[in-house]
Amino acid sequence: MSEQLPLSIQDVVAGYVPGMPILRGVSVELRANEIVTVLGPNGAGKSTMIKAIVGLVPIQSGKVFLQGKDITGRKTHLLVREGLAYVPQTGNVFVRLSVQENLELGGFAAEKLPPDRLDQIFTLFPDLARFRKLAAGKLSGGQRQMVAVGRALMAGPQVLMLDEPSAGLSPKMTEILFAKLIEIRSQGIGILMVEQNAKAALAISDRGYVLAEGQQRFAGAASDLLTSPEVGALYLGAHTRLAS
Ligand SMILES: Nc1ncnc2c1ncn2[C@@H]1O[C@H](COP(=O)(O)OP(=O)(O)OP(=O)(O)O)[C@@H](O)[C@H]1O
Ligand SMILES: [Mg+2]
C-alpha cells in the first residue's frame, strides 16, 4: 500500500530527548496529487512532525516512506535529492542575498538542474522575477514566503512540505500564496503542510488531520473537517475559528 504513496508516516514516535516523545504514534498519508494539511494548536507537535520526516528530530519508532522507499532518519540534504523539499516555519530566506541568489541556492541541492528551472519559478511567481536583484530581506512577508517556496521548488521535488506558510501573512496574502500551492499541485507535486490557519488551509486541501499533544485527533476529507463541530470546538480553544 505505502509503496504507491508519495509520502507515508507510519506510527511515528519522535522527540528531542530520549524517553520523552513529543509525537506519540502519528500516522499521516499523502496520496498522489493531494494537498494535505495537518492542523493543531501551538505545541501540538506539528513542526516536530515535519522535522522528524526530514531527519532533524530523531525518530524513536515508526517509519517514514517516500514513494515507497524507507527514508526513516535520512538526513535532510539527502532527502532533497530523493524528491522531498521542506520550507521551515521561520528563517527560511537569506535576507542579505538577492531573490535570485536565494533561488539559486535551492538549485544547488538538485541532482540535475534543468536550465529553465529558474524561469519556471519566475513564471509561477512573477513578483520574484521583478524583484530578482533585490535583497530578500527587503521583501514583504508574503513575498519572502514565495522566495522560500520557490527555493524549495528549485530542487525539483515530488513532495513539498511547508511549516505554517501563512504565519504572519494577511488574509489577502494568504489567499495569493495558497492559490500558488494549488498551481504547484497541478504540476504533479504533492503538498503536505502544517497550519494553524485551519479555514484557509482546509479550503485548498483535499484531506486534513488534526494533531493535539502529539497524537492524531481527527482525519478526513478537508470538507468534513471544515464542518465538523468537534474540530471547531478544538480550534476555538486554540484561537482559530473555522466558521466566520
Ligand atoms: N528543540 C526542542 N527541544 C525540546 N523540546 C522542543 C523543541 N522544539 C519543540 N519542543 C517541544 O515540542 C513540543 C511540540 O512543539 P512543536 O514546535 O512541534 O509544536 P507546533 O505544533 O509546531 O507548535 P506551533 O504552532 O507553536 O509552531 C512543545 O512542547 C515544545 O516545547
Ligand atoms: Mg510549529
pLDDT digits (tens, 9 = 90+) for 26-50: 999 999 999 999 998 889 999 999 9
Ligand 1 atom at minimum distance from 17 CA: 4
**Whose alpha carbon is nearest atom 27 of ligand 1?**
42
Share of the chain above pLDDT 70, in %: 95
Q: pLDDT at position 239, please?
A: 45
142 SS3 class: helix
What pLDDT does residue 92 have?
Answer: 85
- Cα(15)–Cα(12) distance, integer angstroms: 10
Tell me if 107 sits within 8 A of 64, measured CB to CB: no
| pLDDT score at 117 | 94
How far the first Cα of the chain sits from its last, in Å, is: 38
> pLDDT (tens digit, 9 = 90+) per residue, 117-151?
999 999 999 999 999 999 999 999 999 999 999 99
Residue 140 CA: distances (Å) to CA of 128, 129, 145, 200:
11, 15, 9, 20
pLDDT of residue 244: 47
Cα 109 to Cα 80, 152, 155, 162, 219: the distances in Å are: 6, 9, 6, 17, 33
Residue corresponding to grid cell 528531542: 16
Residues less than 5 Å from ion ligand 2, measured at CB: 46-47, 89
Atom index in ligand 1 nearest the CA of residue 57 equals 1
- Mapped onto helix, strand or coil, the DSSP state of residue 140 is coil
Which residue minimizes the CA distance to atom 18 of ligand 1? Answer: 45
The tens digit of pLDDT for each residue in 75-124 reads 888 899 899 999 998 878 999 999 999 999 999 888 788 889 999 999 99
Name the band, by pLDDT with cuts 50, 70 and 90, for residue 238: very low
Output the pLDDT for position 3. Answer: 54
Judge contact between 202 and 37, C-beta under 8 A. Answer: yes
- Count of Cβ atoms closer than 10 Å to residue 215 Cβ: 14
Cell numbers 521561520 correspond to: 90
Confidence of residue 72 (pLDDT cuts 50, 70, 90): very high
State mean pLDDT over 215-244.
75
| pLDDT tens sequence across 10-25 | 999 999 998 899 999 9
The Cα–Cα gap between 121 and 110 comes to 14
CATH number of 2-236: 3.40.50.300
Looking at residue 108, its pLDDT comes to 85
> Which residues have CB under 6 Å of ligand 1?
16, 22, 40, 42-48, 89, 196
- In whole angstroms, give the CA distance from residue 22 to residue 2: 24
Domain ranges of the chain: 2-236
156 within 8 A of 110, measured Cβ to Cβ: yes
Q: At 227, phi and psi to the nearest 5?
A: -100, 0
- What CA–CA distances, in Å, run from 229 to 10, 41, 60, 210, 232? 27, 16, 34, 13, 5
Measured from the CA of 89, which atom of ligand 1 is nearest?
A: 27
* CA–CA distance, 47 with 40 (Å, rounded to integer): 10
In three-state secondary structure terms, 37 is: strand
- Residue 242: pLDDT over 60: no
105 Cα: distance to centroid of ligand 2 (angstroms): 24
Closest CA to 198 of 89, 14, 37: 37
For residue 183, report the distance from its CA to the centre of ligand 1, in Å: 30
**235: confidence class by pLDDT, cuts 50, 70, 90:** low
Q: Does the pLDDT at position 162 exceed 90?
A: yes
Residue 47 CA to ligand 1 center (angstroms) comes to 7
